[in-house]
Structure formats: C-alpha cells, structure tokens
Amino acid sequence: MVAAAIAVGSGAASAEATAARLPVVYGVPFGHLGSNFVDGKIRPTGKLVWTGDGSAWFVIHSYSRWTADGAWASATVHARSCWGGCFRYKTEPTTLHFYQVRRHDKQRYFTRLHFALRHKVAGLGSGTLKFYKRGTPAWYY
C-alpha cells in the first residue's frame, strides 16, 4: 500500500514538474493596460485579439502539440473585409505556431506566433505576431 502511494505521489510530482517547465501564453484574449504577464495559460482556447481596432482576431480551437520549444494549434482567423465603421468579416482556417521562448521571473513563455493561411483573407496573408510586455492587445503584427 505504501509503495503504491509513493508511486502515485511521485507521478503527480513528475507531472507538476513537467508542467512547470512548459511555457505559457500570455495576453489571451486581449492583454492588459498594465503588464501583460498576467494569467499565463498552457493550451489556451478561444479568442486571441491582435489588432487594436478589432479588425482581426483568432479563435483557437485545439492543439496538436505543446512542448518546451513550441506549440501548434488549429484556429480560425477573422478579418474585417471592409474599411471604416463596417462590421463584415471573412474567416479562414489557419494553423498557429507559438515559439521563441523567454523567461519572466521563473515562468517560461512564448514571444512569437506565426500563422499560416492557405489563402489570403480580406487582404491578409500569413504572418508573424510578437508578444509585447505592456498594452492591449498583447500580440501585434
């Protein structure tokens, strides 16, 4: 009985240690007015806004991989298809790749996000976003 409890306990400790080494994503969905080093997440889903005017965002659906060096996800990009005060959007499936790990305090985090589109959507092609430590949104093109 004691050996089984030790084995279970060491497995849980090992899982916690592995999670502690994995980088997080900050700034989901919007970022913060102060520091963006708030509420880091592993495998965040939902909205990730990356334009200050709301003209484009991702909806992250799921991840195929999350490692110490990179993460790969499937998402849908939403891009405004007209100028001015219009609110018409086009969508396109995309893949996301989080990479370039840095450290804030003791937490590792991703600083780059590349998105790959098969087709341009509302004039938008594939590109790379950068994480910013302050401001909203936290990710910029």
Exposed/middle/buried for residue 96 (C-beta within 10 Å: 0-12, 13-18, 19+): buried
Best CA proximity match to 45, nearest among 15, 68, 69, 25:
25
The Cα 133–Cα 37 span in angstroms is 7
pLDDT in tens, the chain (141 residues): 444 444 444 555 555 555 568 999 999 999 998 899 999 999 999 999 999 888 999 999 999 999 999 999 999 999 999 877 788 899 999 999 999 999 999 999 999 999 999 999 988 999 999 999 999 999 998
CA distance 43 to 13: 20
Name 44's Cβ contacts closer than 8 Å, sequence gap at least 6: 25, 28, 60
Question: What are the tokens at 21?
Answer: 């080494």
d(CA 126, CA 135): 24
Q: How confident is the model at residue 12, as a pLDDT? A: 54
Q: Where are the beta strands (DSSP E) in the chain?
A: 32-35, 46-49, 56-66, 71-80, 89-104, 107-117, 127-131, 134-135, 139-140
Q: What is the pTM of this model?
A: 0.85
